[in-house]
Amino acid sequence: MEVRINGQFTITPMRYSLRRLFLFITALCATICLTLDANAATPAGTIISNKATVSYTIGSNTFTRDSNTDTITVVSSAMVNITKTAVVLDQYGGTQPITGATIRYTLAVTTVGTGTAMNVVITDLLPANTTYTSGTLKLNSAALTDAADADAGDVGGTTTNTVTVKLGNLTSVSPIQTITFDVKIN
């Protein structure tokens, strides 16, 4: 799974495996930790200045002098988190990851912090040895067409073999954005 925000920020793949419970706990911990971090985060608009000072002696005289002052303006402190989960449903009503079984992926996108994450776009490369099940892409339970058109998402339209969903601007008060889609194991 890959997240690009203004083309700057990437999260590497988190694959479905037998250690799902472990991943869930890790994700839960990460969310809690990030939330704690966010509480301490420096708010957007804060100006931080820095200068160095030198002191030295020449003969018996002591001198001190300051450098120029650098200023940093904090732009935004929004952070986008994604939790990806997968459920396997095989054609015999079980949960075995066998050929022909369906994997339903759920991406839950949340934002923490004080700023606004602008133009958030979620991209997720379809796993190898699977085929996307046409017409299964949903955003917050509402179906999206597979084509790259007026709605928020597409599969393979923007990028080959990739799910792309445009979430727009998100803040910490935005509801959780839930993306789901199905693939079939080849």
Residues making contact with other proteins (CB under 8 A): 8, 10, 37-38, 40-42, 46, 48-59, 61, 63-79, 113, 115
Question: Which residue, 29 or 48, is less far from other proteins as judged by CB?
Answer: 48
- 4 versus 184: smaller Cβ distance to other proteins: 4
Structure token digits, residue 81 = 């988190």
CB-nearer residue toward other proteins: 79 or 101 = 79
- Hey, what amino acid is at 79? M
Q: How far is the CB of 95 from other proteins (least distance, A)?
A: 33
> How near is the Cβ of 65 to other proteins at its closest, in Å?
5
Asked if 86 and 16 count as a contact pair (C-beta separation under 8 A), the reply is yes
Work out how close the CB of 13 gets to other proteins at its nearest, in angstroms, rounded to a whole number.
Answer: 12
Select 49 or 186, whichever has its Cβ closest to other proteins.
Answer: 49
Phi, psi of 83 (to 5 degrees): -120, 125
Name 75's Cβ contacts closer than 8 Å, sequence gap at least 6: 44, 115
State the Cα–Cα distance between residues 156 and 147, nearest whole angstrom: 8
